[in-house]
């Protein structure tokens, strides 16, 4: 899934070292380490990502 735009987590502000970015495609969400943007990405079905976010709040 080629992401169109990566967004940094709102919890990553303030210069912390534990930062993630997420990008959304048609049917998937991708997550990567914002300190290693050329590194690996994890990809999830969009519904699974939405369920994760709902339960994480």
Q: What is the 3-state secondary structure (H, E, C) of the chain?
A: CCCCCCEECHHHCCCCCCCEEEEECCCEEEEEECCCCCCCEEEEEHHHHHHHHHHHC
**pTM assigned to the model:** 0.71
The per-residue pLDDT for range 2-40, each reduced to its tens digit, is 556 898 877 666 666 678 889 988 889 999 988 888 999
For residues 32 and 19, what is the distance between their CA atoms, to the nearest angstrom? 9
Q: In the predicted model, is pLDDT for residue 1 greater than 60? A: no
């Amino acid at each position: 899934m080629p992401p169109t735009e990566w967004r940094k987590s709102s919890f990553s502000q303030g210069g912390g070292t534990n930062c993630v970015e997420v990008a959304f495609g048609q049917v998937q969400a991708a997550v990567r380490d914002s300190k290693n943007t050329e590194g690996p990405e994890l990809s999830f079905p969009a519904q699974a990502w939405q369920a994760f976010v709902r339960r994480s709040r």
